[in-house]
Amino acid sequence: MTYMVYIDQYGWIEIMGQGAKETILTPALCRAARGLLDWTQAELAGRASVSRSTIRDYEGQNHEIHRATEAQLRLAFEDGGVRFVEIEGAGTGLCLPAATSL
């Protein structure tokens, strides 16, 4: 069964208009997105206007982050070109758009 998924600017998932929401930026996805962009924690911190220690602690699973911080991180990744995609049966994945040829 297929369904539509909407991911808002804060990283919250809505499935077919239902009210239940969950975060999509996990510590592992944060590390993976940085890897796709070849960014250090310091680079992400600068682009997202958060402290490097916040990123270090979140990626190390030492603490959760606030929704606003998650939104800032996600926006920085999206501005860098990362796309968050929901894959039915597998969860959230990341990709970079294919290079366009002129």
pLDDT by 10s per residue, the chain, length 102: 445 555 666 666 655 444 444 567 899 999 999 999 999 999 999 999 999 999 999 999 998 899 899 999 999 999 999 998 888 888 888 888 876 444
Q: Are 21 and 10 in contact (CB under 8 A)?
A: no
Q: Are 26 and 84 in contact (CB under 8 A)?
A: no
H runs (alpha helix) in the chain: 27-37, 41-48, 52-59, 67-80
3-state DSSP assignment of residue 93: strand
